[in-house]
Amino acid sequence: MVDMETRAQHETPIDMKHAAKNRKLIVANWKMNPQTRKEAGQLSRAVQQGIRGAKNVEVVLCPPLPYLSIVNCQLSVVGKGAQNCFYQQNGAYTGEVSPAMLKDIGCGYVIIGHSERKKYAGETNEIINKKLKAALRAGLKVILCIGEESRDSFDSRGRWTHELDPKVKEQLVEAVKGVKKSQIGNIAVAYEPVWAIGTGNPATPDDVLSAKIFIRKIMSELYSRKDADKVLVLYGGSTNRKNTVDFIKDGQMDGLLVGGASLDPEEFITMIKEVSEVS
């Protein structure tokens, strides 16, 4: 017999009509935090309770793997995602976790290509592409992270000039190589400039709007305008309750990928409520 918790996990309310207008996607990337299962449970419960009734927003918690089971979606207001996966579905790959396994335990999403994985686990564009395709094949939605390393991509007036950084384009083009048109709507691209992550130094709404236009333009060239419009564009990098509304309204973001601030339930709940109100 399937117990209630298991059933709830499998019935994760991942009704992510990506194209749905005004519906924002807020993803919590807990990274390698918190340090105990107890704290993870408290954080997850606090968020799930705190955001009850929030409309027009889809919230996805991405805890470390050992804590995935504590986000049981019983309160049915959040979905859950993993921070990484491998590109094979099973087999002799010691230490790896497959997208199929994530799907099986109720994950709806997986973050792929985060800059910290590039930095500490040596992930390349080629590996990211393989992971992305494997995750989509397993039926997961993907949060694909892209972003430049330094502020060198800014012009003399301090404006983000994506054309100066061919690497951002390269990251996106390489990541979606071989991805079918029909799968594009299952990808959300998170623009995460590396210099803004965890630094308290976020990009501006203007920067992220330029990035969104740039991302949509590349996707239009690779697929079609209609397909490109299905791709949500999120922003990540030092987001908090003070800048949330600016990114959503002025930056026209379809959502946020939140690191540090997602570990503070009060801060994170406030961010979600603000997004809900302006959407």
The secondary structure of residue 232, as a DSSP letter, is E
Please tell me whether residue 13 adopts helix, strand or coil conformation: coil
- Annotated catalytic residue within 18, 58, 114, 274: 114
Quick one: angle between helices 166-175 and 125-137, nearest 10? 40
Shorter beta-carbon distance to ligand PGA: residue 112 or 197: 197
SS (H, E, C) 30-55: CCCCCCCHHHHHHHHHHHHHHCCCCC
Buried b (16+ CB within 10 A) or exposed e, 129-139: bbbbbbbbebe
Shortest distance (Å) from residue 3 CB to ligand PGA: 33
Sign of the alpha-carbon torsion through 98, 3, 7, 24:
negative
- Annotated catalytic residue within 123, 192, 267, 274: 192
Nearest residue to ligand PGA on Cβ basis: 259
Q: Residue 192 catalytic? A: yes
Q: Residue 114 catalytic? A: yes
Binding site for ligand PGA (CB under 6 A): 29, 192, 197-198, 236-239, 257-261
Shorter beta-carbon distance to ligand PGA: residue 186 or 239: 239
Shortest distance (Å) from residue 276 CB to ligand PGA: 19
Shorter beta-carbon distance to ligand PGA: residue 62 or 102: 62
Rounded CA-CA distance 98/186 in Å is 18
Rounded CA-CA distance 232/121 in Å is 26
Rounded CA-CA distance 261/56 in Å is 20
Shorter beta-carbon distance to ligand PGA: residue 9 or 257: 257
Shorter beta-carbon distance to ligand PGA: residue 148 or 223: 148
Reference 203, options 167, 166, 234, 171; nearest CA is: 234
So which residues are the catalytic ones?
114, 192
